[in-house]
A and B are shown apart, each in its own frame.
Chain A
């Protein structure tokens, strides 16, 4: 009997991934095509980021993917980190942030090429796919 193939695509997300197997592994394929995808329940019209296959409102599991990379968000808050946890030393310093898209928010990093003194709460930003070392990927925010 053939050994069952394990779908562990999620291990490619982030500098250090702590999750390999998830029902939203397609998120990683989309990242590789330059898209940061969220999900929406077609019955309840609730948008989910982080994306999830299950709707907590109707308990349905029919959520559909939609692309966020063309959307404009507003910077809700941010922090430039001088220290990081084990495994993230090579990325330092980096800036974590939350972007508000209205019907959903997104936690991530601000791109390293954005000058510190230009970062202001309330500024308009978009999300972009970002290549990390060792073929890992995440997403970063850049000014519109």
Chain B
């Protein structure tokens, strides 16, 4: 069986309130991915729609998205909270690698604006064990705050270290025309007690440490090596797909300073690709909160445990640094339309590897990595791509 690649990528504008319906929003990314890949709906023989349910009223969205996109092949649905579309890409890889399908569209889509922010937090808070944790009033910022708190106690992490992650994000957010948050933020704005960015959300995390809910869609078209020969452009190859889970109940975790699902997904992806962290030229990591980006550096082997903060202090993950991370602004600037996020990360890396990333182009990258996490490390997904 030949290689499996990505031929086309697309993404809608991520916004606080999309103008279209669920399926119309999905179409925006699908259309761009088809145009990008020089492939038509007729040539795509299966699709995977990826979203987290209940933000909108649509039930069983996969066939409806396929219908609106003009896709005739079987349609599947993938859900792993915030990493749904990375899971979709893993499923698409399997469908193509097995020979069942030649070209699979992975469509990530989420319309979060139809419910209030508090209602959305309640939904996310139920992405855990609803019997034992949700009745305490949980939500995602607080879950990640537990890890920030433990990291501070164990390794001496500070709020200023966390703020530096957001400073990097907002260095690149203004350059991304698909991002929700495009204002520049300096360290002063993120650390001054008078700034609204330092208002507490769930201690020690503050407003500036959190990404925004968003409406948005993404699309990644996964293709066989054979099928790609009939098309005009060269795919970016999928070299490794790693996935892992960890306990949903935090009471069953070993520690609160790392997310083993991401560590194990990374190990699986590196092994499959025959690579090590040193081989990665550019990365997109799941920075739903500032602490999450530092946990990602450590999970992926870019930094030793506890040393992620040194990477951001030394600007090693800036565009000109040792390993550029989230130079499209990441979730902190782009916003986080749950089901669409992984596809958006993959789109950024595909563009980087093609040399089409414009102002944020990393110099001549050959291998890129996407780290996408569902819940607070419930689902870990790492995808390694290469030219």
B131 engages A22 (CB within 8 Å): yes
If A82-B202, A96-B138 touch, whether A77 touches B132 (CB-CB below 8 Å) is no
Contacts of B200 in A (CB 8 A): 80, 82
Evaluate contact between B252 and A105: CB separation under 8 angstroms: yes
Asked if A112 is at the interface of the complex by the 8 Å CB criterion, the answer is no
Mark the stretch among B99-107, B144-152, B358-366 that contacts chain A.
B144-152
Distance between A12 CB and nearest chain B CB, rounded to angstroms: 10
Report A89-122 CB contacts with B as 1/0, cut-off 8 Å. Answer: 1010010111000001111110000000000111
Contact across chains for B250 and A98 when beta carbons are under 8 A apart: yes
In this assembly, does B1 line the interface, its C-beta being within 8 Å of a C-beta of chain A? no
Contacts of A66 in B (CB 8 A): none
Cα-based distance from A81 to B125 in the complex (angstroms): 13
A30 at the interface (CB under 8 A from B): no
Q: Is the CB of B137 within 8 A of A76?
A: no
Q: Are B251 and A81 in contact (CB under 8 A)?
A: no
Do A86 and B136 touch (CB < 8 A)? no
Q: B136 near A109 (CB under 8 angstroms)? A: yes
List, in ascending order, chain A residues with CB within 8 A of B141's CB: 81, 83
Decide if B139 is an interface residue (CB 8 Å cutoff). Answer: yes
Contact B134 A77 (CB under 8 A): no
The CA of A56 and the CA of B289, in the complex, are separated in Å by: 33
Contact A50 B149 (CB under 8 A): no
- B153: Cβ under 8 A from any A Cβ: yes
CA–CA, A80 and B203, complex, Å? 5
| Total residues of chain B contacting the partner, CB 8 A | 41
Asked if B256 is at the interface of the complex by the 8 Å CB criterion, the answer is yes
The chain A residue sitting closest to B128, CB to CB, is A107
Q: Smallest CB-CB separation from B134: which chain A residue? A: A18
Within 8 A of A (CB), among B207-256: 249-253, 255-256
Interface string of A12-56 (1 = CB under 8 A from B): 011111110010000000000000000000000000011000000
Most chain B C-beta atoms within 10 Å of own C-beta, residue among A89, A105, A107: A107
Is A60's beta carbon under 8 Å from chain B?
Answer: no
Of the listed stretches B53-61, B114-122, B266-274, chain A binds B114-122
**Residue from B116, B119, B130, B133 within 8 A of A107 (CB atoms):** B133
Please tell me if the beta carbons of A77 and B147 are within 8 angstroms of each other in the complex: yes
Q: Is the pair A18, B135 in contact by a Cβ cutoff of 8 Å?
A: yes
Determine the chain A residues whose CB is within 8 A of the CB of B135 once the complex forms: 13-18, 138
The answer, among B125, B134, B199, B202, for a CB contact under 8 Å with A79, is B202
Q: Is the CB of B131 within 8 A of A18?
A: yes
Contact check, B251 vs A107: say whether CB atoms are below 8 A apart: yes
A79–B146 CB distance below 8 A: yes
Interface residue? B356 (CB, 8 A): no
Q: Are B251 and A105 in contact (CB under 8 A)?
A: yes
Whether A84 contacts B149 in the complex (CB less than 8 A), given A50-B131, A105-B251, comes out as: no
Q: In whole angstroms, what is the CA distance A18 to B54 when docked?
A: 15
A105: shortest Cβ distance to chain B, in Å? Answer: 4
Please judge, given known A-B contacts A50-B132, A96-B146, A122-B153, whether A88 and B137 are in contact too, CB under 8 Å. yes
Partner of B202, one of A80, A88, A89, A98: A80
Determine whether A10 belongs to the interface, using a CB cutoff of 8 Å to chain B: yes
A4 to chain B, nearest CB (A): 22
Once bound together, how far apart are the Cα atoms of A105 and B254, in whole Å? 9
Contacts of B147 on A, CB cut-off 8 Å?
Answer: 77
Known: A17-B135, A86-B118, A87-B122. A78 touches B149 (CB 8 A): yes
Q: Which single residue of chain A is at the shortest CB-CB distance from B203? A: A80
- Given contact pairs A77-B256, A107-B249, A15 touches B146 in the complex (Cβ within 8 A): no
Contacts of A83 in B (CB 8 A): 118, 121, 139, 141, 201-202
Residues on B with C-beta less than 8 A from A122 are 153
Bound-state Cα–Cα, A139 to B122, Å: 20
Chain B residues near A97 (CB, 8 Å)?
146
11 contacts between A and B (CB under 8 A): A15-B136, A16-B134, A18-B130, A18-B131, A50-B249, A77-B256, A82-B199, A86-B119, A96-B138, A107-B132, A121-B149
By a beta-carbon cutoff of 8 Å, the part of chain A in contact with chain B is 10, 13-19, 22, 49-50, 76-89, 91, 94, 96-98, 104-109, 120-122, 138
For the complex with contacts A18-B126, A81-B141, A96-B146, 12 further pairs of A-B residues with Cβ separation under 8 Å are A15-B137, A77-B146, A79-B149, A83-B118, A84-B118, A84-B121, A85-B118, A85-B139, A96-B142, A97-B146, A98-B250, A109-B136
